[in-house]
Amino acid sequence: MDNETRTLFFAFFNEIGIIAQLSRTALEARLPKGLTLPHFSVVNHLIRVRNGQTPLALARAFQVPKTTMTHTLNGLVAHGFVEIRPNPEDGRSKTVWLTEAGRQFRDAAIQSIDPDIDVFREQYPEDKVRELVPALAEIRAILDADRD
Amino acid sequence: MDNETRTLFFAFFNEIGIIAQLSRTALEARLPKGLTLPHFSVVNHLIRVRNGQTPLALARAFQVPKTTMTHTLNGLVAHGFVEIRPNPEDGRSKTVWLTEAGRQFRDAAIQSIDPDIDVFREQYPEDKVRELVPALAEIRAILDADRD
DNA sequence: ACTATATAGTTCGAATTCGTACTATTGGAG
DNA sequence: CTCCAATAGTACGAATTCGAACTATATAGT
């Protein structure tokens, strides 16, 4: 492979990795102590996508092993942000439901993150972000499909 | 804040996070067992940027706590990929030097990753990646500068 | 209906990450 | 020169991540 090409792709994924790390750290700095990005992400997902999903569906949505999702859900249950109920359609399975405290946690988190987004928006135009998203989504879809 | 704006930025950083996770997993699948992205990144950095850096300089380059870098370097030393020597300019400090085995590890890793890049390149044009890198680099620089 | 296989979730142990506290060394103020 | 604050690195412990093995339930083949 052309070395310039290799360098290009390394640079691309390297920038992606650094942005992911910086944005994750910035978000977690706003969350109550002991709560992490996965905690927020799951609660946010239950609101945005669908409440009452199974743990396995959540694990797939976030592309983490199901053992990791078990651990994350345990933390959310300990904080009273979700309830785990049996799955009436499958005795092996469970369902995950937001509590009122979970909704409040999510709303408060978003409120506390908004200022950071504003700061970023002042330095980088929203429209350029809007242009980037479809390309990133396409790349994400390709990598996701190649995963097998 | 406008909810559409908030959703846009969440989507952007969400795509970034997923791509980072997928690409990291894909790379680590090619590395010898027990070696991770940080191991490869440090060795690669010593070759691309400069050999003989201090652990603290490496920790800053990758934006991880110095304890994390200590752990990563211990792993590299255990594999014989780097040597740690005293820093002649500062008795508190050390320097990190690649070994021949470290160079071979890096070369082999790049060789083994090339096919994955090729597969991706067949599905997503290299030129579009080339266009994305400057925007991502700018965003990374902004987030990095805001970190204080 | 019976058996074999597949699936959902948990338990356990190992590796990574990182904050706190500590040691050793440096460098500047008096 | 003597202190003392700052810095480089490590030790330790807690939390996260994840693979392997396990239990319980569901489903397909006969």
Does the structure show a pLDDT above 70 at B40? yes
pLDDT of residue B147: 73
Residue B91 CB in 7 A reach of strand C: yes
pLDDT of residue B8: 94
Give contacts of B144 with chain A, Cβ < 8 Å: 18, 22
User: What share of chain A in percent tops pLDDT 90?
Assistant: 91
Determine the average pLDDT of the residues in B59-85: 96
CA distance B44 to B137: 19
> Nearest Cα to A106, choosing from A13, A37, A25, A55?
A37
A108 touches B: beta carbon within 8 Å: no
B28 to chain A nearest CA, in Å?
13
**Nearest nucleic acid nucleotide to A84, CA to C1' distance:** C9
Task: Express each pLDDT in A36-77 by its tens digit.
Answer: 999 999 999 999 999 999 999 999 999 999 999 999 999 999
> Nearest Cα to A18, choosing from B81, B95, B23, B44?
B23
pLDDT of residue A146: 82
Contact A9 B110 (CB under 8 A): no
Does the structure show a pLDDT above 90 at B52? yes
pLDDT of residue A39: 97
Give contacts of B130 with chain A, Cβ < 8 Å: 8
Does the structure show a pLDDT above 90 at A80? yes
Does the structure show a pLDDT above 70 at B95? yes
User: What share of chain B in percent tops pLDDT 70?
Assistant: 99
A21 touches B: beta carbon within 8 Å: yes
**Residue A148 pLDDT class (50, 70, 90 cuts):** low
Residue of chain B minimizing CA distance to A12: B133
pLDDT of residue B71: 98
The minimal CB distance from B16 to the residues A5, A23, A25 is found for: A23
**Residue B146 pLDDT class (50, 70, 90 cuts):** confident
Contact B18 A144 (CB under 8 A): yes
**Residue B61 pLDDT class (50, 70, 90 cuts):** very high
Task: Express each pLDDT in A138-147 by its tens digit.
Answer: 999 999 888 7
Q: Say if pTM beats, i.e. exceeds, 0.75.
A: yes
Tokens of B93: 């400090």
Under 8 Å between Cβ of A14 and A60: no
Contact A1 B117 (CB under 8 A): yes
The DSSP call for residue A90 is: -
**Residue B144 pLDDT class (50, 70, 90 cuts):** confident
Does the structure show a pLDDT above 90 at B17? yes
A129 touches B: beta carbon within 8 Å: yes
Chosen for mutation from A4, A62, A140 (greatest number of chain B CBs closer than 10 Å) is A140
**Residue B148 pLDDT class (50, 70, 90 cuts):** low
Burial (CB count <10 Å: 0-12, 13-18, 19+), residue B76: buried
Tell me which of B147 and A23 has the higher pLDDT.
Answer: A23
A10 to chain B nearest CA, in Å?
9
CA angle centred on A37, ends B39 and B134, rounded to 5°: 60
Average pLDDT in chain B = 94
CA distance B111 to A1: 9
Q: Which residues pair with B82 in a beta bridge?
A: B98
Distance B4 CA to C15 C1' (A): 40
